Amino acid sequence: MFGNRRKLIKEKLRREFGNLKVDSFDFEQIENYFQKKDHTTAFQTLSDKTCNDLDFQELFMFIDRTNSKVGQQYLYHKLRTIPLHNSKNAIHEKLIGEFTNNPDFRVSVQSQLSKLNEREVYYIASLFQDEILKPPKWYFIVPFLSFTSVLSFIMVFFNPVFFIALLGLSLINIVIHFSNKKNLFNYFSSIPQLSKLNNVAQELFKNDSLKEINADLMKSAGVLNKVNSRMSVFNLEAGIQSDQQILFWALLEIVKIVFLIEPLFLFGTLKRIDTKRTEIEDVFLFVGEIDAIVSISSLRKGLTNFCTPKISDGQKRLFAQEVYHPLIENCVKNNLKVNDKSILLTGSNMSGKTSFIRTIAINVITGLTINTCFAQQFSMPRVRVFSAIRISDDLMNDKSYYFEEVITIKDMIDKSKSENLNLFLLDEIFKGTNTVERISAGKAVLSSLNKENNIVFVSTHDIELADLLKEEYDLYHFSEIVDHKTVDFDYKIKEGKLKNRNAIRILQINDYPESIIKEAIEISEELDKFTVANTCFSEIRG
């Protein structure tokens, strides 16, 4: 029976390799490890704002092919944490090759990892990240009552009168036992899974290829083995399911009440765990890292086009060939070269400007975190990523759209002055204010952000910005083809600024009244004359 089940599991793992995970995603639990992790040594951790701008949850659901909850938490942390250097890339690429080319090896690893796919596994990280529960003030009496109960039980065989004493002690112990149940419940999910995690880690470590992940793992695993004896009480109770086991559980519960076994074991175990946080995290990271590598292998297997990036330090250069957005079905691929200038994109709504900005950002992030880009070729510097794409009113705090945008961009300006290289992503800068001030402030801010080695990707409808920034920014545009009754987009990036404006034409093909179309055209022509006159005056005065 068990042999057939294992065979079915292995067949399922082989069949699903390279495919999207069909599963629900509990992001509150998935994010837990990342949110509580110390990131002081990281080059950058992506902010919630940037993640929201880039649809990070959807990206994670596409990339995640992990087999365990530990691996899922680790992969989420990995994708949101840009490291100072990718020192393990060579080891990871070697393992990715082995997982891809040796299905038997991969499936054996996945089979071990899948033992950690229960929801309770999410809580393992709390054992080394959260403050451990301390014994209550009344706990000092527990060892005394337990010892007295054991002594009374032994004395019953010599003098039945001691049964009355044992019964009296048991009544007191019932109160303590059930008062402690809430404390026990807080760890009933995590402690049994810790034992399972340690066992899986030791099984994985038997493979020579995986030992390179952490050659010293057995030191940490050995320390946890010593805690296993105390954890066995939790493991035993967690596995009870059948009727016979329930009867055994009832008898065990009586024994635990009489001798106060639960509070003794709980706080004894927690005291030991509290001193083994480093060892627990070592084992957690070992398993999580392996699962993340398997996930990257599966991701690449399912892609028709990907590359590993070339990362250069200290240069304002970025090159993308046939780059695409992984979440857009049949996404049009584009090429781009950044060479000492930033990028300003013009184009109408829905033409692809914002999606292209997100495409570049996503490829930079996945390139720096999982060494995988959705492109034929991709090269870049190590940069921090900041965005101002999806901004909304904060009505709860009485902040307007413009005020939120001002705060977000001010933070970018502050970041731009650091020694680190930065990638700034902006969509329709200062669109919450009037045209004259939008263009004036936009030009000043974009010039400031472009200084040093910072790279800026910005989209705008304001053609005037393209003229003002042409010395500092390379100009590109997306355009549409307006037919008699249709509007078609090719989503191909083109050099230069947008020259054709089709907004009024689109109104016309959608049957707006002719009077509106005529008036709009007349006003547009007058405004164009006014803009040209102002530009000439500015140049003469300059």
The ranges assigned to domains in the chain are: 13-137+173-301, 310-497
**Of the candidates 398, 395, 385, which has an alpha carbon nearest to the alpha carbon of residue 424?**
385
The answer to whether the 13-137+173-301 and 310-497 domains have the same CATH topology is no
Q: Which fold has domain 13-137+173-301?
A: MutS, DNA mismatch repair protein; Chain A, domain 3 (1.10.1420)
- List of the chain residues with pLDDT < 50: 240, 395-396, 398, 532-533, 535-542
Bridge partners, residue 353, by sequence: none
Report the candidate in 103, 19, 105 with the shortest Cα–Cα distance to residue 63. Answer: 19
For residue 52, with 0-12 CB atoms within 10 Å meaning exposed, 13-18 middle and 19 or more buried, which class applies? Answer: middle
Residue 265: predicted pLDDT = 79
Q: In this predicted structure, what is the pLDDT of residue 87? A: 86
> What is the rounded CA–CA span in Å between residue 500 and residue 502?
6
Torsion, Cα of 298, 300, 303, 309 (10° steps): 160
User: What is the CATH number assigned to the segment(s) 310-497?
Assistant: 3.40.50.300
Of residues 186, 177, 191, the one with CA closest to residue 255: 177
How do beta strands 384-388 and 310-312 pair? unpaired
pLDDT tens per residue, range 415-472: 998 888 999 999 988 877 778 888 899 999 999 999 888 999 999 988 888 889 999 9
* Residue 213 backbone dihedrals phi, psi, to 5 degrees: -65, -45
pTM: 0.86
Model pLDDT, residue 10: 82
Residues 75 and 288 sit within 8 Å (Cβ to Cβ) = yes
H helices present in 19-125, as ranges? 27-30, 32-36, 48-53, 56-63, 69-79, 89-101, 103-113
Per-residue confidence (pLDDT) for residue 336, from 0 to 100: 96
Residue 257, amino acid: I
Give the Cα separation of 285 and 280 in Å (integer). 9
State the pLDDT at residue 540: 40
* Helices and strands, number each (H, E), in the chain: 23, 14
pLDDT single digits (tens) 85-98? 888 999 999 999 99
